[in-house]
Amino acid sequence: MDSTISDIVVNTMDGKDRKLSEYIGKVLLIVNVASQCDNTPQYAGLEKLYQNYKELGLKILAFPCNDFGEKETGSNGDIMDFCTINYGITFELFDKLHAKGEQQHPLYAKLTTLVEPIGPVAWNFEKFLVNKVGVVVARFRSSVKPNSPELIAAIERELGQ
């Protein structure tokens, strides 16, 4: 099995296809997000992380997901408004997708099999770190906050800091 996610296509908020190979050369933090979750305040930390490292090549790709406790019921417009108004989000938000189950998006089908712990996403705001060549190198459960030393160290390692 190919260990990269570069061949996967995702949908932008405005319905356009985006191939993840467009991000080769960047370090990616991929996060399944939700607007009505106990972890929703992590949006603020993700934005701070993005501001601190975007000039060095970090991209945060956020995928709204309603699979966990129906914590993301809004439309793409609602989600975008919520994130912009409440958290000033400037990183990329994508079309809502399924991170688990029968309708699991190919991105999450791959992410959850390439790095420990192998297995389904457990909750909102789980994070996957992808290196500059598209290989998934680390996975962080929802309890690992954006300002966590272990997450920051992993990002800095991949950025070459």
- Among all residues, which ones are annotated catalytic? 37
CA 5 vs CA 28, 40, 130, 138: distances in Å? 11, 26, 8, 13
User: What is the longest distance spanned by two Cα atoms in the chain?
Assistant: 41
Neighbour count for residue 61 (Cβ, 10 Å)? 20
Under DSSP, is residue 10 helix (H, G, I), strand (E, B) or coil?
A: strand
DSSP sequence for 108-148: HHHHHHHSSSPS---STT-EEEE-TTSBEEEEE-TTS-TT-
Amino acid, res. 94: F
